[in-house]
Amino acid sequence: MKPIVMVHGITDTGKEFETMILYLQKKGYKTYTIDLIPNFGTADLRDLAQQVKQYINHKFTPEEKIILIGFSMGGLVTRYYLQRLNGINKVEEYISISAPNNGTNLAYTLPLKGILQMRPHSQFLEDLNKDVKQILANLKCLIIWTPFDAMIIPANSSLLGIGKEIKVPVLIHKWMISDQQVLNEISNFLQ
């Protein structure tokens, strides 16, 4: 089984994935998390993606393929790694959970660098979205979102129009990485 690397959202750490880690380890997967620093929206998401690249390059051999999961802001960081830092050559399956792929109106609340990049139509998102379908076309992708997301506004901003997109009725954004239905969808996707 390929190892799974998980990348957290804003103000989170890898510890947020505890339920998912236990679930996936019971299925036989080796799991890894990275703690992005800083994690509260002040850093350029491109710099955080460099941290992901360095972690993966250090942890795995050049030939070793991985599964990559990005949650919330981590979904944008992982996409930048995939689309702009040649991560596409390292990753075989990609899972995006409640990421602001087309921005979130909540990003208008603070003028911090990373948060500005999560605004709808930001230069960062326009750049990533212009070729997402072409670059990620050969990658097995799962996009999971909830219509009740109060962090990703509008909630359907998580959709990318690629891979398998699944709507799960989870009430709270952070619960997306511990909800049993989400975990089952991930397991089904990886089999």
Give the tens place of pLDDT for each residue, 76-112.
999 999 999 999 999 999 999 999 999 999 999 999 9
Instruction: Give the mean pLDDT of 7-14.
Output: 97
pLDDT band at 138; cut points 50, 70, 90: confident
Range of the structural domain that residue 145 is part of: 4-190
Helix spans in the chain (H): 18-26, 45-59, 73-84, 113-116, 123-130, 132-136, 180-190
Q: Indicate the number of domains in the chain.
A: 1
Q: How buried is 34 (Cβ within 10 angstroms: 0-12 exposed, 13-18 middle, 19+ buried)?
A: buried
Collect all residues with Cβ–Cβ distance below 8 Å to 21 and sequence separation of at least 6.
6, 31, 33
d(CA 88, CA 51): 16
pLDDT at 45 over 90: yes
Domain at 176, CATH number: 3.40.50.1820
Collect all residues with Cβ–Cβ distance below 8 Å to 123 and sequence separation of at least 6.
117
pLDDT score recorded for residue 184: 98
User: What percentage of the chain exceeds 70 in pLDDT?
Assistant: 100
Paired tokens of 151: 């962090």
Instruction: Give the mean pLDDT of 131-157.
Output: 96
Cα 89 to Cα 5, 62, 65, 84, 157, distances in angstroms: 15, 10, 8, 11, 26
pTM of the model: 0.98
Strands of the 66-71 sheet, one edge to the other: 31-34, 4-7, 66-71, 91-97, 140-145, 164-167
The overall average pLDDT reported for the chain is 97
Phi, psi of 159 (to 5 degrees): -70, 145
Instruction: Give the mean pLDDT of 58-86.
Output: 98
pLDDT at 49 over 90: yes
Maximum alpha-carbon separation in the chain:
42
pLDDT band at 155; cut points 50, 70, 90: very high
pLDDT at 23 over 90: yes
pLDDT score recorded for residue 186: 98
CB contact at 8 A, 25 and 6: no
pLDDT band at 46; cut points 50, 70, 90: very high
pLDDT score recorded for residue 34: 97
